Amino acid sequence: MKNKSENSNIIKFNPNPSREEAMSAVKTLIAWAGDNPNREGLIETPKRVVDAYLEFFEGYKQNPDEILSKTFEEVEGYDEMVLIKNIKLESHCEHHIVPILGIAHVAYMPNKRVVGISKLARLVDVYAKRLQIQETLTSQIAETIQRVLDPLGVAVIIDASHQCMTTRGVHKPESSTVTKRMLGVFKNNAEIRSEFMKLIT
């Protein structure tokens, strides 16, 4: 059981802060960094940062299931892998709120239904445009495709550079992180998994 002092440190979550509150928070961070938020070069910065956050994190306002809701069954018996390679990915690390930049490879094995290929790229964006860790992002994309489309299998690989490692901390600009999630036949069938890996190299 938590004592009173522990409970007093818990910040109550406000799901709908006002724009003015958000701008005030940015001004506070500028001042904390050591600069004057009221000087000419910074006076408009809180507004710009808030506008940028609306774009960076627009994924919170989108339903990933709806993106995949329109499917097609008239595929003339097509039953081979569908693969979208090199999907540009821009996200933000939930630990430092700095960029994660990379690419995603997304594949699925249809089970009578297919979805428009642009929808897979949009699905990547929806989850990427939220505060994330790469492992969770990879799983979310794969699990959503599996749940909504009910294919025979799904494969997702993300290769990304984390600015929390390249511009701060250990400062390793040459590093990248690779995560993967294999479901269904991509996990259980070595031949299909191998074909996928060859296609993305």
* Host H or E run for residue 88: strand 82-93
pLDDT (tens digit per residue) in 58-81: 999 999 999 999 888 877 678 899
Q: Return the SS3 of 47.
A: helix
CA 18 – CA 81 distance, rounded (Å): 46
pLDDT of residue 7: 53
Is residue 11 over pLDDT 70? no
Both tokens of residue 31?
């001042």
pLDDT of residue 112: 83
* Host H or E run for residue 54: helix 45-56
pLDDT of residue 12: 74
Q: How confident is the model at residue 5 (pLDDT cuts 50, 70, 90)?
A: very low
Greater confidence (174 vs 98) lies with 98
Catalytic residues: 93-96, 134, 162, 164
Domains of the chain: 13-56 (1.10.286), 70-199 (3.30.1130.10)
CA 187 – CA 94 distance, rounded (Å): 28
Q: How confident is the model at residue 16 (pLDDT cuts 50, 70, 90)?
A: confident
pTM: 0.87
pLDDT of residue 14: 73
Q: What is the DSSP string of 99-146?
A: EEEEEEEEEEE-SS-EE-HHHHHHHHHHHHTSEE-HHHHHHHHHHHHH
Distances (CA, A) of 118 to 68, 103, 198: 10, 15, 22
